[in-house]
């Protein structure tokens, strides 16, 4: 399990080869639920969407792209909050392709705020990194039979940016 550069949050680290093999098998069988929060540009119209698009590595451009020659990637998206020009999304990935969330969201016209590779080049938000956070992992630990869930709070920069949007949004609704 890995996170893209500039993505915050949870990841799984194993202490020995036995634990590594166990986690690798869970990942292979897609028995680990991975959830993310992402702030994207634009007003995401639907409350829920499923993106099922194949991804491939374009070695010449040194980036991932949607291509029929690629491997299937499946991403579920639920809207948590809307801010006019931005939308906070709760994302569940069913596959774990490189840059999957970033490429899928950019491809449908909602790039992640702060993403320097797949995002908007002209935006000047004062953000260090992208607003993509791995906030929840759920899976069965080897010594237990029930699902264990691990949750990481948003980093300060992400929560501060959301607070700023909420404040701006409340000022706009007070005028109406």
**Residues recognised as catalytic:** 4
Residue 157's nearest CA partner among 127, 119, 112 is 127
Distance CA 124, CA 131 (A): 14
Instruction: For residue 42, give Cα distances in angstroms to 8, 16, 55, 83, 104.
Output: 22, 44, 23, 9, 15
Instruction: Count how many residues are written for the chain.
Output: 176
Residue 73's nearest CA partner among 87, 57, 89, 93 is 93
């Amino acid at each position: 399990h890995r996170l893209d550069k500039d993505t915050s949050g949870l990841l799984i680290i194993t202490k020995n080869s036995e634990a590594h093999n166990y986690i690798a098998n869970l990942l292979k069988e897609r028995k680990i639920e991975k959830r993310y929060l992402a702030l994207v540009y634009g007003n995401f119209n639907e409350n829920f969407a499923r993106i099922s698009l194949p991804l491939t590595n374009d070695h010449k451009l040194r980036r991932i792209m949607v291509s029929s020659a690629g491997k299937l990637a499946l991403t579920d998206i639920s809207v948590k909050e809307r801010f006019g020009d931005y939308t906070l999304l709760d994302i569940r990935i069913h596959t774990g392709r490189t840059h999957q969330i970033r490429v899928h969201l950019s491809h449908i016209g909602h790039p992640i705020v702060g993403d320097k590779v797949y995002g908007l080049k002209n935006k000047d938000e004062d953000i260090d990194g992208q607003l993509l956070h791995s906030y929840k992992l759920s899976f069965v630990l080897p010594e237990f039979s029930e699902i264990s869930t691990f949750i990481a709070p948003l980093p300060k920069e992400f929560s501060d940016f959301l607070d700023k949007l909420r404040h701006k949004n409340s000022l706009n609704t007070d005028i109406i």
